[in-house]
Every structure is written in structure tokens, then in C-alpha cells.
Amino acid sequence: MIVVMSPQSTAEDLENVKKKIEQEGLQYHLSSGSERTIVGVIGDKKLISHFEDHCFLPGVEKTMRITEKYKLVSREFKGESSVIDVGGVKIGGNNPPVVMAGPCAVESMEQLMEAAKAVAEGGAQFLRGGAFKPRTSPYDFQGMADDGLKMLRQAADAFNLKVVTEVLDQRNVMEVAEYADVLQIGARNMQNFQLLKEVGAAGRPVMLKRGLCATIKEWLNAAEYIMSAGCDDVIFCERGIRTYETYTRNTLDLSAVVAIKELSHLPIIVDPSHGTGRRSMVRPMAMAAVTAGADGLIIEVHPHPEVALCDGDQSLTPADFKRTMEDLKKVAALRAEF
Ligand code: PEP
Ligand code: MN
């Protein structure tokens, strides 16, 4: 449920409400808007009912039940769109789309430096690259692990970029958090609830990819796990879903951009690389995503896609990326008029 404080309420009123929530065995989550403070109350359903019946406290304007299972991520809880600030790079709200780009996997320092240069010159803000790779076959390249993380940080710093990289396993959360600015949860782990709780408590923003077969509501609930573990900065990432179609690797669901914005205050970015699996489709789908209102994109870029250890077919060359970024700027400028 949410407790809406009246505009005239005092700091002491708010303290009382917080104290009462804790006394009832519940947790609170504050959201201060320009006019009102809203207190989200989460925890056991029965305890919430009890609290609701006893919530006649000074300074409280009204209380409201949030009907959906996901609470903290919902627009009902927070009407205003959240802006996530990653060391000065702002994602969401009315900010221009943010671009994260780089190879599927970190392969070598040389490959990464070339990729980082192309990505920075194209105007992206983040370097992406997997150090821990969730491969379909155990015999495929699994990533460079710790060495890969160090290389990512070094290459990103050399070109003034932020790092986004996947954390695959609970045991590596703190290690990845040491090198990355944003922790990525991959599609295959979207419902790894224990991992979601761990990343939620790691003190870093989290980019949550949509599961291969996940509904929008399952995805929102996965984000709720992260937020309820203490992380306010969750970014959704639509990366295509499984359908009967096989021409594309996945079916990119751009309507999810609109759905997430209707249902949640959190930002959403789009991955046209995994969403299509085809280089020729990345630029058009990136433009479509921005037109649909996406807060950013994550795009695979490899200096030499023909020798990539992973996902070469969907990776843009530096020249493709440059063109894509030029076109995206035009689309973003047009979008700003609507
Ligand atoms: C990735 O972005 O590196 C990746 C593995 O993507 P996904 O989890 O969406 O398959
Ligand atoms: Mn990939």
C-alpha cells in the first residue's frame, strides 16, 4: 500500500509514520515528489491489512492499496518517471536516449580498445561487453571472467565511458560491482530470484533484461525483487522474446516499451542486436525503438565481426555503428517535438 502524506505534514509526522510501519513488522520506501511525500509500505499482506486499519496518523492525507503484486516499480506507486543517474549520465524521463555499445564478449585488450574507441567516437555513453557469458553450449567460449572485468574498466576509462556488464552468478556480484557502473541481469537469469536479491543489495544500478519467455508482468515482478532488496535504480531492457518465428533470433517486442512506461515509472532501453540476431536489422529497429519512446539502446559493436567469438552475425562494424548513431540523433531530435 502507499501512504500519501499531506503537503502540510511535518518532518515529525513522517517520522511517526515510518516508526509505525516498522513497529508493524513492515518496510517502507520513500518517494519525495515536488508536492508530496509518498511512503510505500511493503511486506506481508496480513500485516499490511492490520496497518491499514490503524493508520490514522497526523499528516497522513490518504492511504491506497496497490492492486498489482509489484508495488515499488509501479506507476501507481510513483507517477513521475524515474531518472537514473549513472555518474552524470541520466537515463529516463525527458533525457535523450542513452547508448550502451560494445562487443558481445570481452575477447582481448586489443579488441576491447578498438571497440571502445569506435563506441566513444560514435557518441555512446557506455561500453558493454560480457566477461561472464551465458552460452547455450558448455563447449562455447565462456568469457574471460576477472581478467575481462579489469579490461572493461580500463578500456572504458581510457575513453571516458561507463561500464555495463552481466553478472551471471550470485558469487560474483560484489566482484562485478567493483568494476561495473551498471550490473546487467541477462535474459536467462530474469527469474533467478536469489541473484535478483543479491544485485538489488549491491549498491549499483541494475539493467534487467526481459526473460526469453517472460510476460510483462513477470518482468515487472522480477524488477520488484531488485527494488525490494534496496535498489531504486532499475532499468528494463527489452531484448526480444521467443515466438514461432525463426527468421529472426527473437521477436523484438517494441510494444513492451509502451507497456512498461504505462505500468512503471522506471526507464526502459531496447537491445536490437539480440532482439533480431541480424546486423541488417539493428539500425532500423534501433530507430524504431527510439521512436517508440525507449530511454536508450544497447547495441553490439565489434571491430571485426567476422572473427568474433560470440554473436558476430548481429554485431555492427564501427562504420555501421557510426551511421546508426547519426540516424539515431535525427530520430531523437524528431521525437523531442512530440
Ligand atoms: C548479452 O547482452 O550479452 C546477452 C547475453 O543478452 P541476453 O541475456 O539478452 O541474451
Ligand atoms: Mn551477445
On whether both 53 and 92 belong to a single domain, the answer is no
Within a domain: 38: yes
Least Cα distance to 332 among 288, 269, 271, 274 occurs for: 288
39 beta partners: 3, 30
On whether both 296 and 263 belong to a single domain, the answer is yes
> In the predicted model, what is the mean pLDDT of the chain?
96
What is the per-residue pLDDT for 327?
A: 98
What's the CA-to-centroid distance between 171 and ligand 2, angstroms?
A: 22
On whether both 21 and 152 belong to a single domain, the answer is no
236 beta partners: 208, 268
What is the per-residue pLDDT for 316?
A: 98
What pTM does this model have?
0.94
What's the CA-to-centroid distance between 260 and ligand 1, angstroms?
A: 19
Question: Model confidence over 22-55: pLDDT tens digits?
Answer: 999 999 988 877 778 889 999 998 999 999 888 8
Which residues are within 5 Å of ligand 2 (an ion), measured at CB? 104, 311
Cβ atoms of 301 and 108 closer than 8 Å: no
Q: Which residues contact 53 (CB under 8 A, 6 or more apart)?
A: none
Percent of the chain clearing pLDDT 90 (strictly above): 89
What is the per-residue pLDDT for 256?
A: 98
- Assess whether the C-beta atom of 311 lies below 6 angstroms from ligand 1: no
Rounded CA gap, 43 and 149, in Å?
A: 36
What is the arithmetic mean of pLDDT over 85-105? 98
What is the per-residue pLDDT for 54?
A: 80
Cα dihedral sign, 164-309-131-226 = positive
What is the arithmetic mean of pLDDT over 93-116? 98
As to burial, measured by CB atoms within 10 angstroms (0-12 exposed, 13-18 middle, 19+ buried), residue 15 is exposed
On whether both 229 and 127 belong to a single domain, the answer is yes
What is the arithmetic mean of pLDDT over 259-268? 98
Within a domain: 255: yes
User: Which three cell numbers, joined as nine digits, stand for 236?
Assistant: 528494463
Percent of the chain clearing pLDDT 70 (strictly above): 100
Q: Is the pLDDT of residue 336 over 80?
A: yes
Confidence category of residue 181, pLDDT binned at 50, 70, 90: very high
Q: Is the pLDDT of residue 155 over 90?
A: yes
What is the arithmetic mean of pLDDT over 165-184? 97
Confidence category of residue 63, pLDDT binned at 50, 70, 90: very high
Neighbours of 211 (CB within 10 A): 21
Least confident of 31-35, 157-161, 268-272: 31-35
Q: What is the CATH number of the domain that holds 328?
A: 3.20.20.70
On whether both 162 and 274 belong to a single domain, the answer is yes
Q: Which ligand is nearest to the CA of 168?
A: 1
What is the arithmetic mean of pLDDT over 256-261? 98
On whether both 243 and 180 belong to a single domain, the answer is yes
Q: Which ligand is nearest to the CA of 311?
A: 2
- Assess whether the C-beta atom of 130 lies below 6 angstroms from ligand 1: yes
- Assess whether the C-beta atom of 162 lies below 6 angstroms from ligand 1: no
Nearest CA to ligand 1 atom 6: 186
On whether both 116 and 212 belong to a single domain, the answer is yes
> In the block, which residue shows the cell 517486442?
253
- Assess whether the C-beta atom of 198 lies below 6 angstroms from ligand 1: no
Cβ atoms of 193 and 225 closer than 8 Å: yes
Confidence category of residue 221, pLDDT binned at 50, 70, 90: very high
On whether both 120 and 265 belong to a single domain, the answer is yes
Within a domain: 183: yes
Q: Is the pLDDT of residue 135 over 80?
A: yes
Within a domain: 293: yes
Number of compact structural domains in the chain: 2
Confidence category of residue 245, pLDDT binned at 50, 70, 90: very high
What is the per-residue pLDDT for 31?
A: 81
Cβ atoms of 324 and 282 closer than 8 Å: yes
What is the per-residue pLDDT for 317?
A: 98
Question: Model confidence over 274-307: pLDDT tens digits?
Answer: 999 999 999 999 999 999 999 999 999 999 999 9
Q: What is the CATH number of the domain that holds 32?
A: 3.30.70.1140
On whether both 34 and 106 belong to a single domain, the answer is no
What is the per-residue pLDDT for 250?
A: 98
- Assess whether the C-beta atom of 312 lies below 6 angstroms from ligand 1: no
What is the arithmetic mean of pLDDT over 316-329? 98
On whether both 177 and 88 belong to a single domain, the answer is yes
User: Which three cell numbers, joined as nine digits, stand for 262?
Assistant: 504505462
On whether both 203 and 243 belong to a single domain, the answer is yes
What is the per-residue pLDDT for 36?
A: 81
Least confident of 48-52, 174-178, 307-311, 328-332: 48-52
What's the CA-to-centroid distance between 228 and ligand 1, angstroms?
A: 24
What's the CA-to-centroid distance between 110 and ligand 1, angstroms?
A: 22
Within a domain: 130: yes
Nearest CA to ligand 1 atom 10: 187
On whether both 11 and 159 belong to a single domain, the answer is no
Confidence category of residue 128, pLDDT binned at 50, 70, 90: very high
Strand residues in the chain grouped as ranges (E): 2-5, 27-32, 37-42, 60-64, 84-86, 89-91, 98-102, 126-128, 162-166, 182-185, 206-209, 234-238, 268-270, 296-300
Q: Give, in order, the Cα–Cα distances in Å from 100 to each of 20, 24, 113.
A: 43, 43, 15
- Assess whether the C-beta atom of 239 lies below 6 angstroms from ligand 1: yes
Least Cα distance to 317 among 282, 274, 276, 272 occurs for: 282
Within a domain: 191: yes
Q: Is the pLDDT of residue 326 over 90?
A: yes
Which residues form the domain of 39? 2-64
As to burial, measured by CB atoms within 10 angstroms (0-12 exposed, 13-18 middle, 19+ buried), residue 57 is middle
